[in-house]
Amino acid sequence: MGRVGAGIALLVASAISALVAVVGSAQVQHTPTPNLVSPIRFRNVATEAGIDFFLENSATPEKQLIEAMPGGVVAFDYDGDGLIDIFFTNGASLPSLEKNDPKFRNRLYKNMGGMRFKDVTAEAGLTGIGYSMGAAAADYDNDGHPDLFVTGVNSNHLYRNLGDGTFADVTQKAGIRSDVWSVAAGWFDYDKDGRLDLFVVNYLQWSPGNTLFCGDPKGPRAYCHPRFFSGLPNTLYRNRGDGTFEDVSVRTGIASHIGKGMSVAFADYDQDGFPDVFVTNDKVPNFLFHNRGNGTFEEVGLETGVALPDHGKDISAMGTDFRDYDNDGLPDIVMAALAGETFPLFHNEGKGWFRDATYQSHLGDLTNKRSGWSAAFVDFNNDGWKDLFVSGSHVNDTVEAFEVTPYRLPNAVFANSGNGTFQDFSSAAGADFQTPGVHRGAAFADFNNDGKIDVVVSQIGGRAELWENISPAAKTWIDVKLTGLKSNYDGLGAHVRVGSQSNDMTSAVGYASSSLVPVHFGTGSARQVDIEIVWPSGIRQTVRGVPTNRILPVREPSDK
């Protein structure tokens, strides 16, 4: 036995005595985590609020895969009244893929204040076309009015916000293609020219004529595993600044990588000043596109350790968030997945790579039996630590015939303990929070401007849920509402620090969803805070002595 062998022998000998303690123990021992975290509570106020959206997927006996995949949710202030509005994508008839019934319309709800909403879809011109999937909001033309991009099955649409409460479908004029199944999208300024570019996440090659049978021939039919379909490259559109976009997927290297994309999130993981792109893939390794800063990307998912969990097996990676959960200033990655896969968490080590922190954070144990779609790091109890929300459901409505795992699931919320670990607060989050459903997209915003982030969740075959955050702790908060000048108007890509906390301005979060809202910080008991902003332009800005419990508008300074 060589050096390695000798080392192993020594370890085995020393470990055997330790095992006696294991064998003698009747229970698995956990390092106790003091339950000092402030409670998180929600109540579903969708009915009182006037949110009556039902996500219609046109379920068929043939189990067409697209039925399992809608639908995205957007939180954005489309009319600039300071109240965050809600947009839902919706399905269509099958196999026609047409919205030939009012029930298939996408839906825009205007926030009337006081947690009351009004359906303004028709007047806004957002009823939609085709079988919609996801959506992404941002002000791509820097006119101060947030626009909307809606993905779908062979049917992507760009809606320009005209600033008068209406939107115009400018897809063709903008040069956006609609020839594949796109699930999600996100806005970011990859070339730092101050104009937002569009990343479109494409899923599988699929057509309505697909009649592949999956499941038990004598029993229930099931949605087919993605391996039965070919994957697709993603699409990157560069914003030319004249209302049109250029497909730069090939030139930038994005098109060189075939995946089965589910969601996208952006952050500058290596702190080189250029935003990088993380794409979750379904049962193939995830992508991390490192922005080289010269207009091209290199895919470094495996090299950086975020393509797969440490076990090296493919998972059904769903929605994601790319944000700093441990306040070390570096964006980390979390994603939802299916039962048995956990919700993997990758901690950014700051050396150009990530560490799989799923089990060390306790998320592995807490999530191994769960299935989820939208994942997001949000500080719900305003204690200064971002918690994790995941919308719950399995993908396959007949899964219970094949596996010991439920299809309908409640949503889940995991409180950040502030020491690198999480606690499952779901069961204490409220009576109606325990209600299982077929949850999909989710968006996160303070809909009633009370300083606590609420959640809106879509539900296949059911009424959308609006989770008002009623967490009891009286903590302070601050929301930083950015307006870019040299940078893009929304300030997407800005890095914001408040005390020891950091967060990024992004609207790409969750599954097929988008939250274009101010950057939120829970500030515990602080009465005032200092705020540091690094704008996408590179301009650094500091605002000192800002009183908490307010939405702070910050305009980008005109010079460095």
Whole-angstrom Cα distance, residue 261 to residue 520? 28
Tell me, residue by residue from 342 to 361, as one string, x for binding to another protein by CB under 8 A and - for no binding: -------x---x-xx--xx-
> To 10 degrees, the CA torsion angle through 90, 93, 98, 101?
-80
- The contact pattern for another protein, residues 204-243, with x = CB under 8 A and - = no contact, is ------------x-x------x-x----------------
Residue type, 129: I
- Kindly determine how many residues on this chain lie close enough to bind another protein according to the rule CB under 8 A: 47
Among 80-88, 302-310, 433-441, 495-503, the segment contacting another protein (CB under 8 A) = 302-310
For residue 174 the two structure tokens come to 């903008």
Q: Tell me which stretch binds another protein (CB under 8 A): 288-296, 297-305, 461-469, 525-533.
A: 297-305
Contact 357, 346 (CB under 8 A): yes
The residue among 98 and 349 lying less far from another protein, judged by its C-beta, is 349
User: Please, are residues 203 and 232 in contact by the beta-carbon 8 Å criterion?
Assistant: yes
Confirm or reject binding of residue 22 to another protein (CB under 8 A). Answer: yes
Which amino acid makes up residue 252?
T
Among 52, 143, 272, 310, binds another protein (CB under 8 A): 310
By CB under 8 A, residue 431 contacts another protein: no
- Contact range with another protein by CB under 8 A, out of 156-164, 398-406, 473-481, 517-525: 398-406
- Contact between 32 and another protein per CB under 8 A: no
Q: Does 305 contact another protein by CB under 8 A?
A: yes
Tokens of 482: 């950015």
Non-local (6+) Cβ contacts of 308 within 8 A are 285, 286, 302, 314, 315
Give min distance, CB of 371 to another protein, in A: 13
Token pair for 171: 């897809």
Half-sphere exposure of 424 (CA within 13 A, CB side): 18
> Which of 130, 152, 364, 536 touches another protein (CB under 8 A)?
364
168 lines the binding site for another protein (CB under 8 A): no
**Closer residue to another protein (CB): 18 or 474:** 18
316 contacts 373 by C-beta, under 8 angstroms? no
303 touching another protein, by CB under 8 A: yes
| b/e burial code for range 227-248 (CB count within 10 A of at least 16 → b) | eebebbbbbbbbbeeeeebebb
Burial 114-129 (b: 16+ CB within 10 A, else e): ebbbebbbeebbbebb
Least separation in angstroms between residue 287's CB and another protein is: 15
60 binds another protein (CB under 8 A): no
Binding site for another protein (CB under 8 A): 4-5, 7-8, 11-12, 15-16, 18-19, 21-23, 25-31, 216, 218, 225, 227, 302-303, 305, 308, 310-313, 349, 353, 355-356, 359-360, 362, 364-365, 368-369, 402-405
